[in-house]
C-alpha cells in the first residue's frame, strides 16, 4: 500500500494524504503566517480533526467544513460549540478521550493533553472541553500521534504502549507548550523513532528549534523538520 504523506502547513496545521486517497486536515489554521500561499485554499477536504478550541488550531475549520461538507471531529464541548458557529449538529463527530472513532476508512482516537481549551466570546473565555491529542490510524495501519498543545506528561508512555505511533508530531516552541527539552523527554516516554516538530517559529515567542530538540535527545529518534509546505512520508 502507498505511503502516507504528512505535510506541515506551518504552526500546528497539517494535511495528511492517506494511502486510501483521503485528504485529512488537523488543526487547519491556514491563515498562520508560515502557511504557504498555495496551501491556504484547499481544493479538497475529506475530514478535519481538531485537538482543542484555541483560534490557532480551529483556524478556518468552519468555512472549510461548510465548503466541502466534510465531517469535523472534536471533543464534545468543542464540537457542540462549532454547531453554534455554522456546522451541523452531528453526534458521531463529537467524541472524547479514550475511544476510537472510525470514519471514512481511518481511525481517530483522542488522547490526553495538558493545556487549556476555550474561545474568547462576549467578553469572557468560553470553556470548550478538555484539550486533546490525536492518534490517527490510516488505512494501511500507519499511526501518527499529534500531541496537540501540551506539556510533557508521564502518561505519554501509555500512548506509546497502546498505540505505538510510527511518528509523533510534537509542539516544541515553548511558552504555551513543551519546549525542546520537554519534547525530548516526551519522545523517550513515547518510545517513538521519528518526530515531526511543530508549534514553533510562528512568532518570536515560540522560540524552540528542531536542533535544540536534537541536542536534548536521550533516545534514538529522528527529528524530521520540513519547511512549511514540506512533506514527510510515513
Ligand atoms: Zn496553540
Residue 151 belongs to a domain: yes
51-70 as b/e: b if 16+ CB within 10 A: bbbbebbbbbbeebbeebeb
Residue 234 belongs to a domain: no
Residue 232 belongs to a domain: no
Total structural domains in the chain?
1
User: Tell me, what CATH number does 55's domain have?
Assistant: 3.60.15.10
Cα–Cα distance measured from residue 136 to residue 140, given in angstroms and rounded to the nearest whole number: 11
Cα–Cα distance measured from residue 177 to residue 188, given in angstroms and rounded to the nearest whole number: 17
For 92-141, write each residue's pLDDT tens digit. 999 999 999 999 999 999 999 999 999 999 999 999 999 999 999 999 99
Tell me the CA–centroid distance for residue 173 and ligand 1, in Å. Answer: 10
Burial class of residue 124 in the structure, from the number of CB atoms within 10 Å of its CB (0-12 exposed, 13-18 middle, 19+ buried) = exposed
Q: Are strands 72-75 and 94-95 parallel, antiparallel or unpaired?
A: parallel
Cell for 87? 456546522
Percent of the chain with pLDDT over 70: 100
Q: Tell me, what's the pLDDT at 2?
A: 81
Residue 59 belongs to a domain: yes
In the predicted structure, residue 64 carries a pLDDT above the cut 80: yes
Residue 233 belongs to a domain: no
Angle at 88 between CA 86 and CA 92, to 5 degrees: 140
Cα dist from 158 to 118, 165, 197, whole Å: 26, 11, 20
In the predicted structure, residue 16 carries a pLDDT above the cut 70: yes
Whole domain around residue 215: which residue ranges?
5-226
Tell me the CA–centroid distance for residue 2 and ligand 1, in Å. Answer: 31
Cα–Cα distance measured from residue 54 to residue 27, given in angstroms and rounded to the nearest whole number: 10
**Beta-carbon neighbours within 5 Å of ion ligand 1:** 56, 149
Tell me the CA–centroid distance for residue 166 and ligand 1, in Å. Answer: 23
Tell me the CA–centroid distance for residue 229 and ligand 1, in Å. Answer: 19
Give the predicted TM-score (pTM) of the model. 0.98
How does the average pLDDT of the chain come out, rounded?
Answer: 97
Cα–Cα distance measured from residue 231 to residue 234, given in angstroms and rounded to the nearest whole number: 10
Tell me the CA–centroid distance for residue 122 and ligand 1, in Å. Answer: 21
Residue 231 belongs to a domain: no
Q: Tell me, what's the pLDDT at 1?
A: 59
Q: Where are the alpha helices (DSSP H) in 105-145?
A: none
Strand order in the sheet with 100-103: 100-103, 106-111, 133-137, 143-146, 167-171, 194-198, 222-223
Tell me the CA–centroid distance for residue 149 and ligand 1, in Å. Answer: 6
Q: Which residue has the cell 477536504?
A: 45
Q: Tell me, what's the pLDDT at 162?
A: 98
Amino acid at each position: 500500500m502507498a505511503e502516507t504523506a504528512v505535510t506541515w502547513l506551518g504552526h500546528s496545521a497539517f494535511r495528511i494524504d492517506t494511502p486510501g486517497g483521503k485528504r485529512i486536515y488537523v488543526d487547519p489554521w491556514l491563515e498562520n503566517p508560515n502557511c504557504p500561499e498555495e496551501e491556504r485554499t484547499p481544493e479538497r477536504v475529506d475530514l478535519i480533526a481538531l485537538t482543542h478550541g484555541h483560534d490557532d488550531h480551529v483556524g478556518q475549520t468552519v468555512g472549510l467544513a461548510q465548503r466541502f461538507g466534510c465531517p469535523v471531529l472534536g471533543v464534545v464541548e468543542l464540537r457542540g460549540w462549532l454547531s453554534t458557529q455554522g456546522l451541523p449538529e452531528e453526534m458521531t463527530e463529537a467524541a472524547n478521550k479514550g475511544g476510537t472513532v472510525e470514519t471514512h476508512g481511518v481511525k481517530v482516537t483522542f488522547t490526553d493533553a495538558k493545556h487549556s481549551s476555550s474561545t474568547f466570546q462576549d467578553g469572557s473565555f468560553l470553556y470548550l472541553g478538555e484539550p486533546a491529542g490525536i492518534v490517527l490510524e490510516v488505512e494501511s495501519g500507519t499511526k501518527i500521534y499529534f500531541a496537540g498543545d501540551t506539556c510533557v506528561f508521564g502518561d505519554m508512555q501509555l500512548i506509546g504502549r497502546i498505540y505505538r505511533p510510527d511518528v509523533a508530531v510534537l509542539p516544541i516552541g515553548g511558552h504555551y507548550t513543551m519546549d525542546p527539552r520537554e519534547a525530548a523527554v516526551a519522545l523517550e516516554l513515547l518510545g517513538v523513532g521519528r518526530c515531526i516538530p511543530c508549534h514553533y517559529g510562528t512568532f518570536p515567542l515560540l522560540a524552540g528549534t528542531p536542533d535544540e530538540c536534537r541536542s536534548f535527545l536521550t533516545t534514538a529518534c529522528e527529528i524530521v523538520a520540513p519547511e512549511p509546505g514540506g512533506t514527510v512520508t510515513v
